Amino acid sequence: MKYFLTGGAVILVDQAVKYAVRQNFQPGDSVQVLGDFFRLTYIQNEGAAWGMMAGKQTFLILLTMVVIIGAIWYMHHEPNMSWLGKLPITMIAAGGIGNLIDRVILRYVTDMFDFSIFPPVFNVADISVTCGCALLIFYVIWGENLEKRGRTN
Taking the C-alpha atoms of residue 144 and residue 153, their distance in angstroms, rounded to an integer, is 14
The per-residue pLDDT for 52 is: 72
More confident residue, 103 or 149: 103
pLDDT digits (tens, 9 = 90+) for 32-43: 999 999 999 999
Rounded percentage of the chain residues whose pLDDT exceeds 70: 92
Domain residue extents for the chain: 2-31+43-147
pLDDT digits (tens, 9 = 90+) for 66-106: 999 999 899 888 878 888 889 999 999 999 999 999 999 99
Known active-site residue 126:
yes
Identify the active-site residue in 14, 102, 111, 114. 111
More confident residue, 21 or 4: 21
More confident residue, 1 or 29: 29
Question: Among 128, 96, 124, 130, which residue's Cα sits nearest to residue 111?
Answer: 124
Known active-site residue 14:
no
The per-residue pLDDT for 153 is: 47
Q: Is the pLDDT of residue 147 over 80?
A: no
Identify the active-site residue in 14, 102, 114, 126. 126
Chain-centroid distance of CA 100 in Å reads 10
Query: What average pLDDT does this structure show over 106-128?
Result: 94
